[in-house]
Amino acid sequence: MADATRSFDRWLHDVRNQLSIILGFSEILLQELEGDDARRHDLQEIHDAAERAMGAMGRVPQKEDESGR
Amino acid sequence: MSSGILDLASLTGAGLTAGLADARTANPVGTILVVDDLESNARLLERMLVSDGHRVLIAHDGLEALERVRVDHPDLVLMDVLMPTLGGFETCRRLKSDPATRLVPVVLVTALQEGGDRLLGLEVGADDFICKPVTSQELTARVRSLVRIKRYTDDLDTAESVILSLAMTIEARDATTEGHCQRLSRYGVDFGRTLGLAPEEIAALALGGVLHDLGKVGVPDAVLLKPSRLTREEFVIMQQHTLIGDRLCGELRSLRRVRPIVRHHHERLDGSGYPDGLRGDAIPLLAQIMSVVDVFDALTAVRPYKLAVAAEDAYDELFREADRGWRRRDLVEAFVALEPGERS
């Protein structure tokens, strides 16, 4: 059970890591694009989707470890 | 009327620190070491930091980070927690337990959410903890704040080094007192330990031995090096060294326990000492201790104009001064009771 919890935590960590890369770079590009750049809307979609996915990660039910924590 | 004393009033430790700090913290950009095994993460942090004016170095695990810190002396370490070979917690613990690297701020950056990991980070000495996703606004604000603190720490360290170097110039100017400061530090530490003083008080005595006559940098050679007896006017000038030394230590926090030693090591219990004519217990204990060892060393050391007095005769002189009401007899007794090995 403890092993399963650890590997679940590791999976959460890895996915959050990847999402934070998408969020970070899209945020940088959004700051660098001119206000009227035609790609801004598409980029904003990528950023918002990553943000929603990150939010969904936070709602994933946490598995209890052996101590019932 | 000129007193003949160099005007060092404005050159205080606090003045040095403030001047350096103003110049160096106005734009707190620095060299940041980013440690992450995931190349994309490292590049993301690099992009954010470089656009804020920082120079960025990258390491891919804890062992490489330890080496980069040792060689490149970054102003800040931004480090992932989960890394192969050596993780962020252990790397942070090693950095914080090494005197050469413990003052480098470490920020742990993690995608973990567990509160326990944050606590563990604090336990290993991390200065801050950032959870992913990191926004550039949050990152640059925290990094700038920590780099500014690092600058202050560096400047305090620099100011203290300048003060210590200044104190060592006294011995260089007056070759007859060679080794006096080091002996006083050693006597002070041994005496303090015997009296059961707290570690921070013993540390103050160690530093006080070196700094007690710091203010003599402001006393002209004609007075400081005069081989014969000082005139009344010259003695007044010489007495100023306690006040000058006190001002030079300024508001340096690291010297706050040493200042009373510098200012009051020529006070006497009956109020006949200088510079403030303090009486009895109003004279700080550390200053009284330094006074005992200062007189002992002055008497037992060889000077061009006098032979060394035997230790036994120096003790007698200290007891006579206690009888005159100048110093505490119990302190003299405790010093005399030290094993000879503890005074040599």
B149 lies in the same domain as B216: no
Give this complex's ipTM.
0.78
Whether the CB of A19 is below 8 Å from some CB of chain B: the reply is: yes
Q: Which domain does B333 fall in, by range?
A: 174-343
Whether the CB of A14 is below 8 Å from some CB of chain B: the reply is: yes
**pLDDT at res. B166:** 78
Burial B256-276 (b: 16+ CB within 10 A, else e): ebbbbbbbbbbbbbeeebbbe
**pLDDT at res. B322:** 97
B293 lies in the same domain as B183: yes
**pLDDT at res. A57:** 83
Taking the C-alpha atoms of residue B333 and residue B2, their distance in angstroms, rounded to an integer, is 43
| Helices B329-336 and B311-323, axial angle in degrees (round to 10) | 170
B148 lies in the same domain as B90: yes
Whether the CB of A8 is below 8 Å from some CB of chain B: the reply is: no
B25 lies in the same domain as B98: yes
What single letter denotes the amino acid at residue A66? E
Does B23 map to a domain? yes
Does B3 map to a domain? no
Interface test with B, best of A18, A21, A51, A67 (most B CBs within 10 A): A21
> Given B126, B154, B182, which residue is the final one in a domain?
B154
> Given B125, B154, B183, which residue is the final one in a domain?
B154
Whether the CB of B112 is below 8 Å from some CB of chain A: the reply is: yes
Higher pLDDT, A59 or B288: B288
Does B168 map to a domain? no
B126 lies in the same domain as B183: no
**Beta carbons within 8 Å of B289's beta carbon, 6+ residues apart:** B188, B191, B192, B195, B205, B331
Instruction: Provide the CB-side half-sphere exposure for B59 (13 A, CA).
Output: 28
The answer to whether the bond into B99 is cis (omega within 30° of 0) is no
B22 lies in the same domain as B141: yes
**pLDDT at res. A60:** 67
| A66 has a pLDDT exceeding 50 | no
Q: Are B205 and B196 in contact (CB under 8 A)?
A: no
Q: Say which CATH number the domain at B303 has.
A: 1.10.3210.10
| A59 has a pLDDT exceeding 80 | no
| Helices B199-211 and B136-173, axial angle in degrees (round to 10) | 50
Whether the CB of A60 is below 8 Å from some CB of chain B: the reply is: no
Q: How far is A38 from chain B (nearest CA, A)?
A: 23
**pLDDT at res. B115:** 64
B322 lies in the same domain as B292: yes
Q: Say which CATH number the domain at B19 has.
A: 3.40.50.2300
Contact B133 A23 (CB under 8 A): yes
B206 lies in the same domain as B274: yes
B101 lies in the same domain as B223: no
Taking the C-alpha atoms of residue B141 and residue B145, their distance in angstroms, rounded to an integer, is 6
Band the pLDDT of A36: cuts 50, 70, 90: confident
Q: Tell me the C-alpha to C-alpha distance, in Å, between residue B326 and each of B184, B295, B316.
A: 20, 12, 14
- Outline where DSSP puts E strands in chain B: 31-35, 55-59, 76-80, 106-110, 128-131
B194 lies in the same domain as B318: yes
**pLDDT at res. B344:** 47
B197 lies in the same domain as B239: yes
Domain map (residue ranges) of chain A: 2-57
Domain count across chain B = 2
Whether the CB of A24 is below 8 Å from some CB of chain B: the reply is: yes
**pLDDT at res. B110:** 86
Residue A50 CB burial class (10 angstroms; 0-12, 13-18, ≥19): buried
Taking the C-alpha atoms of residue B241 and residue B284, their distance in angstroms, rounded to an integer, is 18
User: Within chain B, which residues score under 50 in pLDDT?
Assistant: 1-17, 19-20, 23, 344
**pLDDT at res. B11:** 44
**pLDDT at res. B10:** 43
Taking the C-alpha atoms of residue A19 and residue B260, their distance in angstroms, rounded to an integer, is 58
Whose CA is closest to A42, among A53, A59, A29, A61?
A29
> Given B121, B154, B187, which residue is the final one in a domain?
B154
Does B216 map to a domain? yes
Q: How far is A1 from chain B (nearest CA, A)?
A: 18
**pLDDT at res. B3:** 42
Contact A9 B82 (CB under 8 A): no
| A62 has a pLDDT exceeding 70 | no
Does B160 map to a domain? no
Mean pLDDT of chain A: 83
B107 lies in the same domain as B214: no
